[in-house]
Chains A and B, each alone.
Chain A
Amino acid sequence: MNIVVCVKQTPDTAATVTVSDGEVSWGDAPLVLNPWDEYAVEQALLSKEAHGGKVTAISLGSEGAKDALKQALAMGCEEAILINDPAFENADSLVVSKALAAAITKLGEIDLAFFGRQAVDSDTGVTFAQVARRLGWPALSLVAKVEALDPGAGTIAVERMLGSARQRLQTKLPAVVSVVKEINEPRYPSFMGIRKASKAEIPVWSKADIDLAEVPEAALRWPEIFAPPKIETECEFIEGETAEEVANKLADRLVEEKVI
């Protein structure tokens, strides 16, 4: 199988993120492979291991995003490609999806494209669906389980999250699949994997390399980024001699303050 996994580099989720003069900063927190994408990489690798073939990781980002791609290589992806072009600065999901779809088309003969459910920085969660739409491929969203993958018949059956329910779907390949955390347990890169990845030369594709003559301007503008209002609460600690007393006092306070 010829598999693609689309990944993004994001600040670590433990980072304290601040903004000053419109510039977002995450201090000295490390940049990592978007945590959701680890599950996508793992699922791509599991599919390859079950059916043969290769996995190519793609990322759109700055030169630094090569580190996220190296993480994907260290986990076991065969190849990685960085899409980097000044034309993609200030891109919104509409533009990013155009670039990723073009890169997937350029690679050719792809059976499956995996995505994490969303990136933990921009938090849009729409890019995978937009890439699928541009490619004209079916999107299997928020997949919690792959029930069957049959490259011979060219089909995939999955279980997706749908609110509090699960929907079981089958579709034809090629398809785009976005995955949720429940689907697997991402592997740690092996020592050999890390060594291989550290030596890897990652090709950089410009807009010309993915045959995009014109990159449209982003439809969205971001006139203001700001810190949410600080929550000013003084915690009222409930105390008492016994647990029963504390519980009763707390219940009384919740009723008095019309919390319940």
Chain B
Amino acid sequence: MSSKVCVYVDHFQGRSSPASWEAIGVATKIGETLGGGVAAIVLGEKVEELAKHAIEHGADEVLLVDDASLKDYIPETHASVLSKLVTDAGAEVLLLPTTDRTRELAGMVAVDLETGVTPDVVDVEVKDGALIATRPIYAGKLMTKETCTTKPHVLTLRGRAFPKPEPETGRSGNVNKVDVKVEAVTTEVLGYGESEAGVTLSDAATIVSGGRGVSNNPKLEPPAEITVEQEQEIWRAQQGFELVRSLAGVLGAAVGASRAAVDAGYIPYINQVGQTGKVVSPDLYIACGISGAIQHLAGMRTSKNIVAINKDSEAPIFKLARFGVVGDLFDIVPPLTSALKERLGK
């Protein structure tokens, strides 16, 4: 069976990126128009479970390479195997979800196949047998449509930009175990650092973010042993972020931050939302003490519902917000947390 659309199922040690299933949903639509099946590609060790999920989410077949040498993700190894499978399948389109792994992977495969790569796509249409992909540039201040003159067109799809297909339990499809000779590479994995706790920003349906304002609680008196002014500020900010975290906890949300809060050392960079952080698009984004610099707005403007809590009624964030509270986050966030806890029956 020829599969015109291949989808790379991205995962971390067997845990799939939700956007992989969204990509299969997109592939199914494209496949219908182009006239050809959808092949999901699963690489790893002991990842047969993922192959099953791929079928359940709509793939017609799965190309599975289950090999000890693919246990850890290494871009060179994965790219070589992926390039070979896509070539052998004769695919016209390769879709990958956009994650920390796949931009590099897509780029390498595109070099192997001397073809075009369009990263972080938010919309796809098929016109006269060719794909037109839309993606943000300038952090979403503009959008561009991209087409590709060579095949396959390699695209990575932004998470949460496309609907996730409902899995159909017991759906049948071929799982083809493929033997691919995996070439040795010079990069070796030494281990894994500690994972950051909590929900990942890019996958989160709800995000609660804190800005510079989290350090501005005049009522808080830092402990006497903290004498350096900057450390006092960070201590205050950490108390502020505790409130943000509690609210996030009640909502099952990820914790975000503005660049100002990250640069001031209040919270690690991994939490940064904006042009030089993560670009996010949750169903609900609650901005606490964030005024809304253009770089921050670029990173969250496509959120479905934005709630802003800020002391300054003129703050630009209110221009994007559906609900706004002009007030001190230290006064509002604790009772809001209790109120939502009550309503959610927690």
Q: Which of A's residues lie within 8 Å of B, judged by CB?
A: 11, 13-19, 24, 35-36, 92-94, 97, 118, 120-130, 132-134, 138-142, 157, 159, 161-172, 178, 180-182, 216-228, 231, 233, 235-239, 243-244, 246-248, 250-255, 257, 259-260
Contact = CB atoms under 8 A, between A and B. Distances in A.
B270 A161 contact: yes
B325 interface: yes
A129 B103 contact: yes
B1 interface: no
A98 to B, nearest CB: 9
Contacts of B101: 162-163
Contacts of A92: 116
Query: Which secondary structure dominates where chain B touches chain A?
Result: mixed
Nearest to B193: A166
B117 A165 contact: no
7 contacts: A123-B119, A126-B110, A157-B190, A164-B198, A244-B339, A252-B343, A253-B323
Contacts of B307: 250, 254, 259
Given A35-B276, A164-B200, A250-B325, A127 B107 contact: yes
Nearest to A176: B104
A219 B136 contact: no
A226 B143 contact: yes
A94 B148 CA distance: 12
Given A13-B276, A130-B111, A219-B115, 14 more contacts: A14-B294, A35-B276, A125-B120, A161-B270, A164-B198, A169-B190, A181-B272, A218-B116, A219-B150, A221-B146, A228-B142, A250-B323, A251-B340, A259-B284
Contact of B142 (A168, A227, A254): A227
Given A35-B276, A238-B323, A17 B142 contact: yes
A195 B294 CA distance: 33
B229 interface: no
B288 interface: no
Contacts of A19: 142
Interface centre among A122, A134, A243 (most CB of B within 10 A): A243
Given A246-B332, A250-B307, A250-B323, A260 B269 contact: no
Contacts of B107: 93, 97, 124, 126-130, 133
A24 to B, nearest CB: 7
B14 interface: no
Contacts of B79: 133
Interface stretch (B27-35, B85-93, B180-188, B219-227): B180-188
B106 to A, nearest CB: 6
A36 B295 CA distance: 14
Contacts of A15: 138
B190 A221 contact: no
B119 A168 contact: no
A181 B200 contact: no
